[in-house]
C-alpha cells in the first residue's frame, strides 16, 4: 500500500487513536496521509515526509514546511506553462526589435521615394556673389544654368520729419498717411501721443501700414515712417500738420527714399519685383539682388545635390544590413550556446525570402534596371555594399533615371516599399504584427491558466494548513493521553508502570 514507514505510521495512528477520546481523527488522517503519496485530481506529486521523531515524544512536526513542500509539488503543473510563457515573451522582444529596424529601413527608403525628398535637393553657385547671391535651391528646382542682369534694386518708401532739438518737446496737430493707393489714415496728436516717442508708439499701434521710429542725430531727433509694402506699391503720401508746440516750429516730412521695384532679366526675360529677395523667377530657386550691374551677366549654376543623395543611399544600405543581421542572428546560438528565441521560427525564413526577392523586383527606369547599376551589390552573406564612385557617376549621367527607379509607378522603390509594409510591425497585415498578435493570444491563455491554478493551489494550501495543524495537535497530545491510560491501568491493576525495580 505504501512505504514501510507510512504503513507503520498509519497503523500507529489507527491503533492509538481508537482507544483515545479523539479517535475519530484516525480515519481522516489515514486518508490525508495516503493523499500525499498517490495522484489526486490529475496532480502527480512526490512523497512528502513527516518527520516528528518518536510518536510518543509530543514534539509533533513542522506544519509550515510540510505545507510548503506540498504546495511546491502542486505548483509543478505550472512549470511548463511558465516556460512556454517565457519563450513567447523572449520571441516578442526580438520581433519588436526587428520591427523597429524594419521601420528604420522604411524611413531610409522613403528619403529616396519621396517626390519632395532628398532627390529634389539642389545646390548652386553665382559667378558674382556681390551682385546676385544664391540663397536656396530646393523642391522644384531643375539643374541648369541661368543668366541674370540687375539694372535696378527694389526700395521701400520712407519719410522723416524735420529735426526736433529736444526729443521731449510737446507736439500737436495730426498726420495723414496713405500707402500706395490704399485708404488715407489719420493720426491725431493728443495728450497720450504728444512727444516723438509716444507719437511713434501710437502710429505703430494704429496698424496703418507703416512702421514709425525715432532716430537721433547730431541736429536732434526725427520721426521716421517706413512703408510696410516694398516697391512702388508701397509709395507713401503724407499730409496733415505736425507742430512742435514748445518752439512753435512746423515739422515737415522729407523723403528718405522713394519706393521702387527691382528691375532685372533672367535669361533675357525682363522681370520686376517689389523686393530684392526673388523667389518666383526660377522655379525652386531663391536668390538675392545685391547691387546693380546693367552691363554684367551673372551666371547662376544649379546642380543636383549628389552628396545628399549618396548619403541617403548609404543610410538605406546600412539600415538594410541591420535588418538582415537581425534575421541571421536568430539562425544560431547565443554566446552561452543557447538557441536564439526565434531559432527555426518560420517567420525568420519568411522575412529573409521577402527581402531577398524585393531586391530584384520592380520595373526599369530608362537606363536603370537593377540596383547593381547604382553601385549596390549583394554580398555572399546577403548584406549589401555601396560603391559611391559608381553611384556618383550614374547620378551625373542619368540622374532622372535614378529618381524614376525609386519613384515611378511600379518601380523598384514602389515595390520595395510595399514589401516592407507587408513585413512590418504595423496593423493590420504586417507579418511581424500578426505574429506578435498570435503570441499575445497564447500568452493570455497561459496567464489565465496560471492565475486559475494559483487560486486552486491557494485554496488547497489553506485546507492543508488546517488539517495538518489539527493532526499536529493530536500528535503533541499523545504523551498526555498515554499518561492518562497508564493511570487508569494502574488504578485497575494496582501496577505502576513508572515504578523502578
Written as one string, the DSSP assignment of 114-126 is -TTSGGG-EEEEE
Q: Which helix (H) or strand (E) holds 383?
A: none
Three-state DSSP at 126 gives strand
The predicted pLDDT at position 499 comes to 57
Helix, strand and coil percent figures for the chain, each rounded to 5: 45, 20, 30
**pTM of the full structure:** 0.64
pLDDT band at 55, cuts 50/70/90?
low
pLDDT tens digits, residue range 176-195? 999 999 999 999 999 999 99
pLDDT value at residue 114: 94
* Residues comprising the chain, all counted: 501
Q: Mean pLDDT, the chain, as a whole number? A: 87
Sequence ranges of the domains in the chain: 4-78+447-493, 87-116+307-434, 122-154+262-304, 158-257
Tens-digit pLDDT profile for residues 128-173: 999 999 998 877 888 899 999 999 999 999 999 999 999 999 999 9
Q: Is the pLDDT of residue 33 over 70?
A: no
- The pLDDT score that the predictor gives to residue 265 is 98
Q: What is the pLDDT of residue 468?
A: 86
Find the mean pLDDT for residues 98-121: 93
| pLDDT value of residue 19 | 32
pLDDT band at 383 (very low <50, low <70, confident <90, very high): very high
For 166, the enclosing helix (H) or strand (E) is none
Q: Cis (ω within 30 of 0) for the bond into 428?
A: yes
**Record: fold of 158-257:** Immunoglobulin-like (2.60.40)
Contact 382, 324 (CB under 8 A): yes
What are the grid coordinates assigned to 204, written together?
505703430
User: How far is it, in rounded angstroms, from Cα 277 to Cα 230?
Assistant: 11
Of residues 181, 202, 178, 180, the one with CA closest to residue 190? 202
Measured CA to CA in angstroms, residue 165 lies from 28, 194, 360 at distances of: 118, 15, 82
Grid cell 508746440 is found at: 245
The rounded Cα 214 to chain-centroid distance in angstroms is 51
For residues 362-375, average pLDDT = 93
Residue 495 has pLDDT above 80, yes or no: no
C-alpha cell at 262: 527691382
Amino acid at each position: 500500500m505504501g512505504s514501510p514507514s507510512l504503513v507503520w505510521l498509519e497503523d500507529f495512528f489507527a491503533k492509538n487513536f481508537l482507544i483515545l477520546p479523539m479517535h475519530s481523527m484516525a480515519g481522516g488522517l489515514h486518508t490525508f496521509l495516503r493523499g500525499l503519496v498517490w495522484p489526486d485530481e490529475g496532480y502527480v506529486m512526490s512523497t512528502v515526509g513527516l518527520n516528528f521523531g518518536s510518536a510518543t515524544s509530543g514534539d509533533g512536526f513542522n506544519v509550515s514546511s510540510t505545507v510548503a513542500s506540498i504546495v511546491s509539488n502542486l505548483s509543478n503543473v505550472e512549470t511548463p506553462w511558465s516556460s512556454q510563457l517565457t519563450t513567447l515573451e523572449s520571441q516578442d522582444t526580438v520581433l519588436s526589435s526587428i520591427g523597429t529596424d524594419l521601420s528604420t529601413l522604411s524611413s531610409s527608403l522613403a528619403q529616396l521615394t519621396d517626390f519632395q525628398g532628398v532627390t529634389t535637393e539642389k545646390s548652386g553657385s553665382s559667378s558674382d556673389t556681390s551682385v546676385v547671391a544664391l540663397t536656396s535651391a530646393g523642391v522644384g528646382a531643375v539643374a541648369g544654368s541661368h543668366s541674370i542682369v540687375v539694372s535696378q534694386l527694389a526700395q521701400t518708401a520712407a519719410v522723416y520729419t524735420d529735426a526736433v532739438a529736444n526729443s521731449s518737446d510737446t507736439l500737436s496737430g495730426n498726420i495723414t498717411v496713405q500707402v500706395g493707393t490704399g485708404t488715407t489714415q489719420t493720426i491725431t496728436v493728443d495728450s497720450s501721443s504728444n512727444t516723438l516717442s509716444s507719437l511713434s508708439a501710437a502710429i505703430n499701434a494704429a496698424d496703418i501700414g507703416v512702421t514709425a521710429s525715432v532716430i537721433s542725430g547730431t541736429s536732434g531727433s526725427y520721426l521716421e515712417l517706413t512703408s510696410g509694402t516694398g516697391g512702388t506699391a508701397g509709395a507713401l503720401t503724407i499730409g496733415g500738420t505736425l507742430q512742435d508746440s514748445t518752439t512753435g516750429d512746423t515739422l515737415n516730412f522729407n523723403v528718405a527714399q522713394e519706393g521702387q521695384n527691382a528691375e532685372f532679366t533672367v535669361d533675357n526675360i525682363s522681370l520686376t519685383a517689389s523686393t530684392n529677395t526673388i523667389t518666383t523667377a526660377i522655379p525652386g530657386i531663391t536668390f538675392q539682388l545685391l547691387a546693380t550691374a546693367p552691363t554684367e551677366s551673372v551666371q547662376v549654376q544649379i546642380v543636383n545635390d549628389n552628396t545628399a543623395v549618396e548619403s541617403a543611399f548609404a543610410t538605406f544600405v546600412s539600415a538594410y544590413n541591420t535588418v538582415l543581421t537581425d534575421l541571421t542572428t536568430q539562425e544560431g546560438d547565443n554566446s552561452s550556446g543557447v538557441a536564439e528565441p526565434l531559432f527555426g521560427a518560420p517567420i525568420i525564413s519568411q522575412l529573409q525570402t521577402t527581402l531577398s526577392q524585393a531586391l530584384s523586383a520592380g520595373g526599369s527606369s530608362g537606363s536603370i534596371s537593377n540596383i547593381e547599376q547604382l553601385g549596390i551589390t549583394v554580398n555572399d552573406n546577403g548584406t549589401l555594399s555601396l560603391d559611391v564612385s559608381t553611384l556618383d557617376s550614374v547620378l551625373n549621367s542619368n540622374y532622372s533615371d535614378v529618381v524614376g527607379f525609386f519613384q515611378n509607378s511600379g518601380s523598384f522603390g514602389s515595390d520595395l516599399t510595399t514589401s516592407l509594409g507587408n513585413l512590418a510591425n504595423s496593423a493590420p497585415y504586417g507579418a511581424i504584427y500578426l505574429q506578435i498578435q498570435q503570441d499575445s493570444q497564447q500568452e493570455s491563455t497561459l496567464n489565465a491558466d496560471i492565475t486559475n491554478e494559483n487560486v486552486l493551489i491557494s485554496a488547497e494550501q489553506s485546507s492543508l494548513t488546517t488539517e495538518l495543524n489539527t493532526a499536529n495537535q493530536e500528535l503533541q497530545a499523545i504523551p498526555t493521553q498515554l499518561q492518562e491510560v497508564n493511570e487508569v491501568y494502574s488504578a485497575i491493576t494496582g501496577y505502576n508502570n513508572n515504578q523502578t525495580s
